[in-house]
Amino acid sequence: MPHPDVEAETLVETAYAKVNVALHVRARRDDGYHALESLFVFAEDGDRLEGQTTDDGVIGLIIDGPFGAGLEAGSDNLVTRAARALQAHIGERRGAAIRLTKNLPVASGIGGGSADAAAALRLLVRLWDVRIEPERLAELALDLGSDVPACVASVTQLVTGRGEHLARHNVDGLEGLPMLLVNPGVGVSTASVFAGWDRQDRGSLNAASLELLIEEGRNDLENAAIAVAPGIAQILDALRGADGLLLARMSGSGATCFGLFGNMAAMADAVQAVRAEHPGWWIMETRIRSA
């Protein structure tokens, strides 16, 4: 037990925003999930988690930040669930006081909740000095949600199945690219978007090169998401009119879209134009995170 005059060490993790450079939906599975093929990349920025060990066994969560009001800090929060799952698995008697600063929009297709849960696992592994096999940590992550295992590593990965099959994947010229994230300010239900998918298998994902991702990659949920949130189409139109753009596409089930640019100056010009026309949209200027 730490001395009462000694402040507990505070550790920090970033919950990196997840972006689907391409998302191919191949089939609806018998278990209700969908068979997916996707290339996940992660932004250098995202939500922030900080935590301290406590001696009472309690998992305490405080949420603040620009989008903190959109979340409850109760037992159903993914951060709390992740902490309790790890605590139970290792038999940890200590607790943790966690603060989540929510910088990413909620229900926005960039893995906010999944990234938060994954960051909580990383944070507590460090905070409690946990020895756990990566395979077991991945199993705990998958129990929390399909995207959580990929978010634990937060590196560029090919993701298949419902999200449980992961493979580190290098695409020349992709990591480090300037990336602009734009959201129209609406939350989109993942379930409703998947329900609106037309069930057409348009073929497998070829992520062998950046050029193939741009030319042949797609997001098969885009039309279904636009039917729910028409603002997505407005964002894509705005991004596709920008000079220096390499690719504009929706991420996940929406409503956030992304633009990849050849350089930071081109992205800065696009930001200025988008903000002038649509001052109410949420915008994040970042880069694709490298390993």
Per-residue 3-state assignment (H helix, E strand, C coil) for the chain? CCCCCCCCCCEEEEEEEEEEEEEEEEEECCCCCEEEEEEEEEEEEEEEEEEEEECCCCEEEEEECCCHHHCCCCCCCHHHHHHHHHHHHHCCCCEEEEEEECCCCCCCCCCHHHHHHHHHHHHHHHHCCCCCCHHHHHHHHHHHCCCHHHHHHCCCEEEEECCCEEEECCCCCCCCCEEEEEECCCCCCHHHHHHCCCCCCCCCCCCCCHHHHHHHCCECCHHHHHHHCCHHHHHHHHHHCCCCEEEEEECCCCCCEEEEECCHHHHHHHHHHHHHHCCCCEEEEEEECCC
Distances (CA, A) of 223 to 5, 197, 211, 240, 256: 58, 8, 23, 17, 14
- Assess whether 18 carries a catalytic annotation: yes
- Assess whether 147 carries a catalytic annotation: yes
Tally of residues, the chain: 291
From the list 18, 45, 47, 116, the catalytic residue is 18
Return the closest-CA partner of residue 158 out of 42, 35, 20, 39. Answer: 39
From the list 64, 147, 201, 243, the catalytic residue is 147
Q: Which residues are catalytic?
A: 18, 147
